Amino acid sequence: MSDVSVCVRDAAGQVTRKSLQAGQSVNIPGQQPFEVTGENLNQLRVFFQGQRIWFQAEATRLRLTAATASD
């Protein structure tokens, strides 16, 4: 796995840019929904609300929105 640069924007417009190395973990706080952009996103292991998020091979953008419990 090579280094991956990502940009995460939250609902408040707060932008966090990270260059991640293989095996590196980061926690990015903020208000959902989140928009994740970058190249080679399929090389990342992203978890959101305790679930792993899988990227398609060519994906460069993903929107993460919290699930709501239904009665």
In this prediction, residue 70 carries a pLDDT of 65
Instruction: Report pLDDT digits (tens) over 18-61.
Output: 999 888 889 999 999 999 999 988 888 999 988 999 988 899 99
Distances (CA, A) of 49 to 1, 32, 39, 64: 25, 11, 23, 10
Half-sphere exposure in the Cβ direction for 2 (13 Å, CA): 4
Contact 37, 18 (CB under 8 A): no
Phi-psi region of 38 (alpha: psi -120 to 50; beta: other; left: phi over 0): left
Q: What is the mean pLDDT of residues 60-65?
A: 94
Instruction: Decide if pLDDT at 17 tops 90.
Output: yes
Selected residue with higher pLDDT from 66 and 12: 12
* The token pair that represents 4 in the structure block: 């991956």
